[in-house]
Amino acid sequence: MAKEVTVSPGHGQYILLAEDEPAILKFIQSMLEEMGYSVIAASSPHQALRLARDFKDQIELLITDVIMPAMNGRDLADSIHSFCPSMNVLFVSGYPANILDQHGILNDGVHFIAKPFSLSALAEKVHQVLNQ
């Protein structure tokens, strides 16, 4: 018997999604929208930074790939925190957390989910980060 997936619904919270792979960006965006979140999608760190600066409402969560061209996800999060300090951050990567940690990209207490992930795993992690 298949296990039933329970997804905690979002309530329209704004999530900024930064992912440089177009197919993955669209896939994660559709997953988040299906869960009830409002997604601001960015295909580069610089676009994410620009969108965050121009956005008039509160961004509740940044979901960012850790490794991207021109700027890593950690630097992107730090830059956005300078003008949006209450925003939560969830890092995603195809690299294991222990490899990223060796390079100083992830610290203790940082929220992280490894790619690939399921809808239920993403829903659980987003819910956890938003309700911390």
For residue 116, say if its preceding peptide bond is cis, omega within 30 degrees of 0. yes
Residue 85 lies in a domain: yes
DSSP-assigned letter for residue 96: -
Percent of the chain topping pLDDT 90: 72
In a domain, 91, yes or no: yes
Q: Which residue range(s) make up the domain with 32?
A: 14-115
- Residue 129: inside a domain, yes or no? no
CA dihedral 118, 69, 91, 49 (to 10 degrees): -120
Whether 3 shows a pLDDT value over 60: the answer reads: no
On whether residue 19 sits in a domain, the answer given is yes
Domain assignment of residue 103, yes or no: yes
Q: What radius of gyration do the chain's Cα atoms show?
A: 14
Is residue 48 one of the residues assigned to a domain? yes
Is residue 121, in this structure, part of any structural domain at all? no
In Å, how far are 17, 73, 83, 100 from 46, measured between CA atoms?
Answer: 12, 11, 15, 21
pLDDT at 124 over 90: yes
For 77-109, b/e burial (b = at least 16 CB within 10 A) is bebbeeebeebbbbbbbebebeebeeeebbeee
What is the C-alpha separation between 106 and 91, in angstroms, rounded? Answer: 9
pLDDT grade for 104, boundaries at 50, 70 and 90: low
Domain assignment present for residue 58? The answer is yes
Tell me the CATH number at 85: 3.40.50.2300
Question: What is the number of domains present in the chain?
Answer: 1
Answer yes or no: is pLDDT of 94 > 80: yes
Range scoring the smallest mean pLDDT among 52-61, 62-71, 91-100, 117-126: 91-100
Q: What percent of the chain has pLDDT over 70?
A: 88
* Digit-coded pLDDT (tens) for 48-70: 999 999 999 999 999 999 989 98
76: left (phi over 0), alpha (psi -120 to 50) or beta: alpha
